[in-house]
Amino acid sequence: MFKILKYSFYDLIRSRWSYVYFLFYLLLGFVLLFLNNDISKAIITLMNVIIILVPLISTIFGIMYFYNSKEFTELLLAQPIKRSSIFLGQYFGVAGSLTLSLVFGLGIPFVLYGLFKSDAIFDFTLLLVTGAFLTLIFTVLSFNIALSNENKIKGFGYAVLLWLFLAVIYDGLFLMSLIVFKEYPLDGFSLAATMFNPIDLSRTLILLKLDISALLGYTGAVFKKFFGTDQGLFISMFMLVLWTVLPIWRLVIISKKKDF
């Protein structure tokens, strides 16, 4: 698996798109910090970027890579290599190069700006960790979609739809159900609903840092326990891990059954 990872990774870090992605984050980091001179504001803007753009880019990048390397995959399949190693290797190659672009692209400007001397370092680290998780999750989701759909156009469509659903539509439905059932105690429900969407989950993690004052204004006991203690952080992290591991597991299972 590590060999495949290595080659996929090399392949990717030499592709134009990784650079575009990397430069995009680099530029974003510099613009935010040096035109604005306000680290707190930069972090808030970055959060929006991370929870919206990172999933979108990971999804599209993942699905494109998978379809484009179809023949390469077939070449590998005929080699004495375990099937799961091929897909996991490719997956970690893609996710790894995307994560590195993100971490370095954003990290460099922040370090140059003097982040290590700032209190914002924890918020920033949390942002990067969340971004890395989102990359891992959305890349594996797109791999799953690609593996289940022979047709590129269809697969691409499903992937974009998945992003749109999780990034926007899900929250709309979520809010509607909150409004419809507002007579009932809903804090348990809303936390659960958050857990089922990795974007919401990541957002919650960041909210724990940025908006704890507002979150603690809410009455529900479940909320209070979740946000008021470290429990929220642990549960959210655990769910993110689950969101990463379960699709990877599915990827392995269906890759074993698939014909090429």
Partner 1 sequence: MKQVVFLLILIFNLLSGVSQQPKRITVCETCELKSIAEAIKTASDHDTLVIKKATYKEYNILVDRPLTIIGENYPVIDGEDKGEIIRIVSDNVTIDGLFIINVGTSYTSDYAAIRVVKSENFVIQNVVLEKLFFGIYLEKSNHGKVYHNKIVGDAQDEYNSGNGIQLWYSHNIEVSNNIVQGARDGIYLEFSHNVKIHNNKSTDNLRYGLHFMFSDDDVYTNNVFENNGAGVAVMFSKRITMKGNTFRKNWGTAAFGVLLKEINDAEIIENTFEENTIGIHIEGSNRITYKGNNFIKNGWGIKVLGACYTNTFSANNFLYNSFDISYNSKLNDNVFDGNYWSNYTGYDLDKNGIGDVPYRPVKLFSYVVNQTPEAIILLRSLFMDIIDFSEKVSPVFTPDNLMDINPLMTKVQ
Partner 2 sequence: MIHIEGLCKKFGKNKVLSDLDLNIEEGGVFAVLGPNGSGKTTLIKSVLGMVVPDKGRISVMGEPIKKNWKYRKKIDYLPQIANFPGNLRVKELIRMIKDLRQGESNEEKLITLFKLEPFLDKKLSTLSGGTKQKVNIVLAFMFDSPLLILDEPTTGLDPASLIHLKELIREQKQKKKTILITSHIMQFVAEVSDIIIYLLEGDIYFKGTIAELKTKTAQTDLEHAIASIATTPAHV
Which of 13, 152, 187, 242 binds partner 1 (CB under 8 A)? It is 187
**Best CA proximity match to 128, nearest among 147, 111, 153:** 111
Only one of the segments 5-13, 106-114, 117-125, 174-182 lies at the binding site for partner 2 (rule: CB under 8 A); that segment is: 5-13
Which of 214, 245, 246, 253 binds partner 1 (CB under 8 A)? It is 214
Q: How far is the CB of 47 from partner 1 (least distance, A)?
A: 7
Contact 14, 93 (CB under 8 A): no
Work out whether 15 is an interface residue with partner 2 (CB under 8 A). Answer: yes
Q: How far is the CB of 226 from partner 2 (least distance, A)?
A: 44
Which of 1, 11, 104, 157 binds partner 2 (CB under 8 A)? It is 11
* For partner 2, the closer CB: 72 or 104: 72
Contact 14, 95 (CB under 8 A): no
**Exposed, middle or buried by CB within 10 Å (0-12, 13-18, 19+), for 163?**
buried
The shares of helix, strand and coil residues in the chain, as percent rounded to the nearest 5, are: 85, 0, 15
**Exposed, middle or buried by CB within 10 Å (0-12, 13-18, 19+), for 79?**
exposed
Residues numbered 38-67 forming contacts with partner 1, rule: CB under 8 A? 38, 40-41, 44, 47-48, 51-52
* For partner 2, the closer CB: 15 or 177: 15
Contact 150, 256 (CB under 8 A): no
Contact 131, 198 (CB under 8 A): no
Work out whether 82 is an interface residue with partner 2 (CB under 8 A). Answer: yes
Per partner kind, with CB cut-offs from 5 to 8 A, the member of partner 1, partner 2, none near residue 72 is partner 2
Residue 59 φ then ψ, to 5°:
-60, -50
Which of 216, 241, 246, 253 binds partner 1 (CB under 8 A)? It is 216
Only one of the segments 43-51, 74-82, 103-111, 244-252 lies at the binding site for partner 2 (rule: CB under 8 A); that segment is: 74-82
* For partner 1, the closer CB: 43 or 86: 43
Amino acid 92 reads F
Longest dimension (CA), the chain: 61
Work out whether 159 is an interface residue with partner 1 (CB under 8 A). Answer: no
Which positions lie near partner 2, rule CB under 8 A? 3-4, 7-8, 10-12, 14-15, 68-72, 74-83, 256-260
